[in-house]
Amino acid sequence: MQEQAAGDKGLIFNLQRFSIQDGPGIRTTVFFKGCPLRCPWCSNPESIRPHPEILSRDIKCIRCGKCVEVCDQKAANISAQPRIILRDKCDSCMACAEACPAHAIERTGEYKTVDEIIKVVLKDLSLYQRTGGGLTLSGGEPLMQAQFAASLLRPAKHANMHTALDTTGFAEWPALAEVLRHTDLVLYDLKQIDDLKHLQATGISNQLILKNLRRIMAETRVAVWIRIPVIPGFNDTEGDIRSICEFVQQLPRQPEKISLLPFHKFGAAKYIALGKIYPWNDAVLIPDQQMESFKRMVESCGFSADIGA
Amino acid sequence: MSEEMQELRGIPSAQKSSDAAPHEWGFGSTPRTAMLRANLKWKAAVVKDFINVVIGLAKCAFRRGEQIRVDLDRARLITESYKQTDGQPWVIRGAKAFAHLCANFPPYIKPGELIVGDPNSAPDELRWHPEISAHFMPEAVTKGGFSKMVTDAERDEIVNDICGYWNGRCVADRIKAIIPHEVCPDILQGLATPIEAKLWEMGIVNPSYDYPALLREGIGPRIAKAERKLKELDEKALGMPPAEYLEKKNNWQAMAMSGRAIIRFSQRYAELARNMAGKESDPARRQELEQMAEILDRVPAQPARTLHEAIQFFWIIEVAAKFLAVYGHGGGHRIDKILFPFYQADLKAGRITREKALELLECLFLKIQEVGIALEWPVTFTGKAGGEIFYTLNICGSDQDGKDMSNELSRLVLEAMGNLHINQPPIAILYHPNIDPEIVDCGIDLLRKGMGHPAWFNEQLLEKWAMLRGYSFEDAKQTQVGGCVTNHITGKFQITTGAAGVGGMILPKVLEEALYEGGSQANPKRPDRPKTKDPREMKSCDELVDAFMERVLFYCKEMKLSWDLAQDVLTNTYPDPCNSLLLDEPLDRGVDIKKLHKEHDTYPAVFILGMITVADSLAAIHHLVFDKKKYAMDQLITALKANWKGYEAMRQEFIHAPKYGNDDDYADAWAEKFATRFEQTISTVKDAWNCRLVSDGGTAAGYQTVGLACGASPDGRLAGSHLTDGSRSPMAGADKNGPTAVLNSAAKIPFMHTELFNQRFMPAFLEGRNKKLFAAYLQEWYEKGTIPHIQFNIVDSSVLIDAQQHPEKYADLQVRVAGYSAFWIDLPKGTQDSIIARTVHGF
């Protein structure tokens, strides 16, 4: 790692325009790289590590050997078919990504300034205004770069954009509170009320997450959408969903809605591109009827609910 | 163009993408239209293989074993008549040939039909126009794509009797005979050169009539007017120059003859309907046939009174005047405006229900679908892939005061297309700031069905276009979309001569010349071509643009000469009395429509192919040769000549150079500069009638055909592969920042001429709450104020299935399925399956 995230730069792995799933209206979503959780079902595995990495896609490889030429660590090996990257040797120096003419090896994670990002975000300003859309910070976990997140939201608010934060909720309160000062809507992930299950699956306790949500409801007026990723074998029972609803019911203020996000495997190939094994590859998708019945249950608890994507 | 793309890939179109019909009885709002829809003959062919790409000789096949045949009736009757009228004035010959057709062309009525009339003598046949161009047909029916569409006896008749007569006599041959080949050697070379200037070989005519007036008055009074004019003319004969007297006399005579012929044509259908009624055992059908006979007896001679009469009036005129008399394409009628008063009156009188009106409209659309393209060269089937006849119908739009003109008929039009799932007629929505949001909503619903309907046009820009061409504000208000994206001004003189423009220009081929033939590399066989600078000595990409434009100018001058001469032949030897009768000014003045065309606007259009391919090429050259200095021009030229063979790594860098369509000024600036310079260059050339050359983005599916003839290009494209579609669309797959970025890129190019702009969306973006967002996207497109046209390809499962089978072809296909985008190739098979399944479930 030659570069470090400085205060005036953030580590971003994607800037997605025309996002329509991350809050109201047409939006631009900025994906922060780095996440404190280790959810094994994660659909954005490139979002986890807080530094740039390489993605390597065999199908694009033209076997020109440029990666082998530039790799000091001898991590690239083209004598194999398909070409392989020895990940334990790779030091993420990015030389191969820069050399690869076919973009078969690509860098994921760029250090960008607020200005660089805002310039892109502003390009669709008129569409945000037409649709009540704006800027969403997502990840990874934006709060791992809370200072940068806040400095990104500030000019967005100045431009009269609707702002949203998509978060795991795992952050120190002062950092979260600072970001919320510039946020209109929080998309707050609740995965599991049973702390042990939460800890076992994601590597962290849910106590801070639950506490932060309570404080958001008590101490701020920011709009909240709760999002429950429904994961097979982790929280896909009625009991799991019900206990989340019961927790939310006890909060000092209610969210605008609860979204159920069905587990999917769209990220599987990205694990391969990262040289990783996808732990949730064999999981069985949750049938639509099951999702519908969860939705009805959430509604029966008095919430407005939808099934997201 | 989604259906066309599917056709090109050999995937059956439209209804495949949505297996569930909207009604239990099938596609159509009633069992009647569903039955008619089920029995449609599909006349769109797929070109399988080229026998000779230069002359456009190809093998082609129709959908799923559909047995389509060459229609001999029209060609035979036309030939019979012309053989008998040798030596008579051309306009009289034309009128007599048309009258002969109308009196003898076999009519047919299918079970259940309510609206009748077909320019083909049977549902499974396709007509052709030997009087325009006959030279391709003997080869096409012998060893080309049409060889299985005729019997041995028919082949013999076509080769010997019909083409034998027209050889040297048809319009195209008459024009070819006068082109000075030494001065414009490229005109007859086909795809071997960067220009395709023989549009007169196709003979396209796109007249659009003032239907509200025609329906109100009938054509009877027009015939009477021609006869009255003849009488008055004779009275004034003494004081007139003989040439003028003769011209007017012949014209009015021919017009009157043509008008009577149309009425005869309609009456023959009436007779057929009455005969069939006599033999019909089902009393309900018998009554229908009797009613149809009454209607066909009445219209188009007399005014239409009901919606049924109005639709039949409209269609019989279209069949006779547009498809039988001439090689007509679209007309650009505002169908909702034309038919609404009749619908309203019927409702008021209790004569009709909404359901019945919808059924009648569906009956009309099914007739339009079955017209099919007239046979040209077999290559036509790629250029017009999907069986496009450019028969665009317009809806919505605003009146003089800016008030929305959409009405219940506009809604019915959208509904009918949604019910039928057919690709003709293309529906164009004339979008304006006051358009009814509910109609927009209906339009989005129709789009969602994945057929490509409707296309959206910026009404204000259509009007601006008309005013730039010198039309009055009032006339400009009558602008609508006629052809692919070409505009028409109702009742005026757009594209009525038989040559749709000065020609097509294949821009990547011009670039090839600028790169390969600069400086000392000049082609020794072509000393007439401009001497442009050796690209190896160029200091900037701008110099390459200069060299390019010099060559553009050279070809424009060649095309202009061919156009001027061809127009002269067309005007003097291929008049159009039938369409002259139906328009006011020719009828009032006794002047043929083709001659008036020159007084008003010849529209010397240059159809631009591969505009963005060149813009991307320039951006890549600027980036890698001049800016980063990574490659020398010489290396690039060597790699291009080798079709990138042995230079794959280098090609990848050119592929990944900045591309138009990503809202990146670096690349977009080249598109802007190139488009503007191109327009400036061609507009310096004027035709013989003082009209400046102007671009037209209506290139249909030509980007695929002409791509076959183009070498490798600096955007990383391989030789023979397709060019960018449309004139403002990014290269397929090159736009990676989503639809808002594409829109921003496209909006950077100033509005100068008609354009074709394709966008691709996943169906999910047009559903549920997203519909509102999509409507906002359309609004944004309109308010950008520089993009006259937008159409959407709602990527459906058949494309995705193909992508699954051939992932290498779709390395850059992005599907935005969940809350984020994914590259198709990044998705595991199971996930791909689920997306394909989900897409289909949506229908």
Residues of A in contact with B653 (CB under 8 A): 101
Average confidence (pLDDT) over B513-528: 93
> Measured between CB atoms, which of A64, A130, A264 is closest to B648?
A64
Residue type, A105: I
Percent with pLDDT over 90 in chain B:
65
Question: Is the CB of B826 less than 8 angstroms away from the CB of A269?
Answer: yes
Look at residue B124 in the predicted model and tell me its pLDDT: 93
Alpha-carbon span B117 to B300, nearest angstrom: 13
On chain A, the residues whose CB falls within 8 A of the CB of B780 are 126-127, 130
Q: What are phi and psi of B698, to 5 degrees?
A: -80, 80
Indicate whether B842 pLDDT > 50: no
B729 pLDDT higher than 70: yes
Of A302, A192, A291, A186, give the one whose Cα is nearest residue A244: A192
Count of domains forming chain A: 2
**Domain residue spans in chain B?**
2-133+208-489, 503-795, 797-843
Task: With a cut of 60, say whether residue A35 has pLDDT above it.
Answer: yes
On chain A, the residues whose CB falls within 8 A of the CB of B808 are 59
Chain A positions touching B810 (Cβ under 8 A) are none
Domain assignment present for residue A129? The answer is yes
Residue A1 resides in a domain: no
CA distance B370 to B837: 32
Q: What is the DSSP letter of A104?
A: S
Question: A-chain residues within 8 Å CB-CB of B779?
Answer: 130
Query: Lowest mean pLDDT: which of A113-117, B131-135, B282-286?
Result: B131-135
Q: Give CA separation, A147 vs A5, A7, A154, B198, in Å.
A: 11, 7, 11, 66
Asked if residue A150 and residue A129 are part of one domain, the reply reads yes
pLDDT at B11: 31
Q: What number is the average pLDDT over the span B63-87? A: 91
Residue B164: how many CB atoms within 10 A of its CB?
A: 14
Top pLDDT among B164 and B63 is at B164
**Subunit contact B808:A21, Cβ cutoff 8 A:** no
Q: How confident is the model at residue B827 (pLDDT cuts 50, 70, 90)?
A: low
3-class secondary structure, B32: helix
Separation in Å, CA B675 to CA B124, B175, B615, B696: 43, 32, 8, 12
The dihedral region occupied by B71, where left means phi > 0, alpha psi between -120 and 50, and beta the remainder, is: beta
Tally A–B CB contacts below 8 A: 107
A35/chain B closest Cα distance in angstroms: 17
Pick A309's closest partner by Cβ from B648, B819, B834. Answer: B819
CATH number, residue A74:
3.30.70.20
Q: What is the pTM of this model?
A: 0.91
8 Å CB contact of B649 and A62: yes
Between A17, A66, A273, which is nearest B738 by CB?
Answer: A17
Q: What is the pLDDT of residues A241-289, one digit of tens each?
A: 999 999 999 999 999 999 999 998 878 889 999 999 999 999 999 999 9
* Partner residue facing A123 (CB), from B744, B773, B822: B744
- The pLDDT value recorded for residue B662 is 94
Same-domain pairing of A68 and A87: yes
Query: Looking at the domain assignment, is residue A251 inside a domain?
Result: yes
Q: Which of B214, B212, B699 shows the shortest CA–CA distance to B478?
A: B212
Shared domain for A158 and A269, answered yes or no, is yes
Please check whether residues A31 and A69 belong to one and the same domain: no
CB atoms within 10 A of CB A246: 11
Task: Say what the pLDDT of residue B683 is.
Answer: 97
Q: Locate the chain A residue with the closest alpha carbon to B776.
A: A130
To the nearest whole percent, how much of chain B has pLDDT over 70? 87
Residues B562-612 pLDDT 10s: 999 999 999 999 999 999 999 999 999 999 999 998 888 899 999 999 999
Cβ neighbours of A103 in B, within 8 Å: 652, 656
Residues A238 and A264 in one domain: yes
CB-nearest to B649 from A14, A66, A133 is A66
* pLDDT above 60 (res B9): no
Of the listed ranges A151-165, B208-222, B792-806, the one predicted with least confidence: B792-806
- A43 contact residues in B (CB cutoff 8 A): 818, 820
Residues on B contacting A at a C-beta cutoff of 8 Å = 648-653, 656, 663, 737-741, 744, 764-765, 770, 772-773, 776-777, 779-780, 783, 807-808, 811, 816-822, 825-828, 830-831, 834
In CATH, the number for domain B503-795 is 3.20.70.20
Reported ipTM: the value is 0.92
Chain B partners within 8 Å of A59 (Cβ): 807-808, 811, 825
Across B19-39, average pLDDT = 86
Calpha distance B209→B579 (Å, rounded): 9
Q: Percent of chain A beyond pLDDT 70?
A: 97
Same domain? A77 vs A194: no
Closest-CA residue of B relative to A264 is: B831
- Taking CA atoms, B592 is separated from A118, B83, B495, B540, B632, in Å, by 61, 23, 14, 52, 58
Answer whether B831 sits within 8 Å of A102, measured CB to CB. no
Average pLDDT value over all residues in chain B: 88
Q: Per-residue pLDDT tens for A231-254?
A: 999 999 999 999 999 999 999 999
Residue with tokens 């600072």: A178
Domain containing residue A29: CATH number = 3.20.20.70
Phi, psi of B68 (to 5 degrees): -100, 140
Which two structure tokens, joined as six digits, stand for B768?
A: 């549920």
Residue B790 has pLDDT above 60, yes or no: yes
Whether residue A26 and residue B740 make contact (CB cut-off 8 A), yes or no, is: yes
User: Do A255 and A282 belong together in one domain?
Assistant: yes
Whether B592 contacts B576, CB under 8 Å: yes
Report which of B21, B791, B788 is spatially closest to residue B454, judged by C-alpha positions: B791
Of B773, B818, B828, the CB nearest to A309: B818
Given this structure, which CATH class describes domain B2-133+208-489?
A: alpha beta
Residue A285 lies in a domain: yes
Q: What is the pLDDT of residue B769?
A: 85
Query: In angstroms, what separates the C-alpha of B274 from chain A's closest C-alpha?
Result: 57
Residue type present at position B646:
G
Q: Please compute the mean of the pLDDT values over residues B62-72 and round it to a whole number.
A: 80
pLDDT, residue B198, reads: 85
Q: What is the pLDDT of residue B813?
A: 60
Q: What is the mean pLDDT of residues B79-98?
A: 97
Q: Please, which pLDDT band fits residue B2 given cuts at 50, 70 and 90?
A: very low
- Find chain A residues with C-beta within 8 A of B827's C-beta: 266, 268-269
Reported confidence tier of residue B168, pLDDT bands at 50, 70, 90: very high
- Kindly tell me if the per-residue pLDDT of B7 is higher than 60: no
- Calculate how close chain B gets to A73, using CA atoms only, in Å: 23
User: Pick the residue with more confidence: B670 or B43?
Assistant: B670
> Cα–chain-centroid distance for residue B105?
26
pLDDT value, residue A252: 96
Residue B313 has pLDDT above 60, yes or no: yes
C-beta atoms of A127 and B780 within 8 A? yes
Which of A102, A127, A268 lies at the smallest CB-CB distance from B776?
A: A127
Residue B72: band (very low, low, confident or very high) from pLDDT cuts 50, 70, 90: very high
Q: Is residue A3 part of a domain?
A: no
Say yes or no: A208 and A252 in one domain.
yes
Give the pLDDT confidence score for residue B264 in this predicted structure: 98
Same domain, A143 and A265: yes
Mean local confidence (pLDDT), B704-713: 84
Residues of A with CB under 8 A from a CB of B: 14, 16-22, 25-26, 29, 31, 43-44, 57, 59-60, 62, 64, 66, 101-103, 123-124, 126-127, 130-131, 133, 261, 264-266, 268-270, 273, 285, 308-309
The partner residue sitting opposite B818, judged by closest CB among A17, A123, A266, is A266
B821 neighbourhood in chain A, CB within 8 Å: 16
Model confidence pLDDT, tens digit, residues A196-217 = 999 999 999 999 999 999 999 9
Whether A89 and A199 share a structural domain? no
Please, what is the average pLDDT of chain A? 94
Domain membership flag for residue A175 = yes
Does residue B301 contact residue B267 with C-beta atoms inside 8 Å?
Answer: no
Residue A4 located in a structural domain: no
Residues A65-76, mean pLDDT to the nearest whole number: 93
Range of the domain at A201: 9-51+113-307
The answer to whether the CB atoms of A62 and B739 lie below 8 A apart is: no
- pLDDT at residue A7 is higher than 80: no
Cβ contacts of residue B626 below 8 Å, gap of 6+? Answer: B539, B540, B541
Same domain, A96 and A210: no
Chain A residues near residue B811 by CB distance under 8 angstroms: 59-60
- Flag if B773 and A20 touch (Cβ within 8 Å): yes
Q: Are B740 and A18 in contact (CB < 8 Å)?
A: yes
Searching chain B, which residue's CA lies closest to the CA of residue A98?
A: B653
Instruction: Answer whether B317's CB lies under 8 Å from B214's CB.
Output: yes
Instruction: Give the mutation candidate from B648, B740, B783 for the A interface (greatest A CB count, under 10 A).
Output: B740
Tell me, yes or no, whether A122 and A100 share the same domain: no
Q: Is B815 helix (H, G, I), strand (E, B) or coil?
A: strand
User: What SS3 class is residue B206?
Assistant: coil
**Which residues of chain B have a CB within 8 Å of the CB of A126?**
780, 783
Q: Average pLDDT, stretch B662-676?
A: 97
pLDDT band at B63 (very low <50, low <70, confident <90, very high): low
